Structure 1
């Protein structure tokens, strides 16, 4: 797959989503109810006719009870992830871009680089039930709001928390903050 060709990525996501839906013996209507995404939109995604947002992909992955990156999965026994090379997933807001570190995921965890733009914030979707998020600040300093509590992290600081709650990232600096995020699923 050419990950630099957005149309190929959209087609792959649609085909993988359809594969998981059929494996779980779900109709488009049933997945629509589970994911909170319209049946029409799901059909368009499966056919590669629309480019879904990150928020929509989170909802679909939760509806299918699979990790988000399973929708982008490639199979290989050795994977190398180079920063800035490969797939980039824009957040629902232009303040954040996610870069999968490894796309060949298990059902248990996945890892991302997140780039939070200067003087901005990013509110993420609630993740799957019982998911734990581990975040390390690689460059910059950020605040992470988990439920109503704000935590400040500097370079190389880390935090872990239940990610099936409201959480957001805040970058009050004039430089991009780079985070490594590991999601540990309990599906």
Structure 2
């Protein structure tokens, strides 16, 4: 089975991103996948049309599910508003609304934070670090420094923290739950 060329661009970008993140050279991944370095280079450029067997071999070599190669990466910033219609389940005592699904191999740190009515600029964290924040009280502006988003109680945001970002409280009292997601080294 061959993949369509529009998917080829997605596959190529994902292969390059995953290979680089894993610290694997083009030659080493090509050898592990049983293809030539030239063929792999063409796939990464989105100029080739690999078979399903080739994609399985590359996914196996990268130790990722096949879907990681086929699916477009999630947006760098995902905002969920308190009024958004999201999947919800109800139990006898607990109701739960899905805010974000975060795939990670590594460590998750959970913080209860207060955000003062001033701005704090944070330098980029290590590559692969994400932040997910749920505002529990007040209003804040936060996210990537070039695209901060205003959020209120009940809203949440997830973003790539490997770029400069900002936190700013917009009311006298602002609180949130912050998850710091650190990939395995």
Could you tell me the TM-score, scaled by structure 2's length? 0.40
Q: Which has the larger radius of gyration?
A: 2
Could you tell me the TM-score, scaled by structure 1's length? 0.40
Which structure has more RCO (C-alpha within 8 Å, separation ≥ 6)? Answer: 2
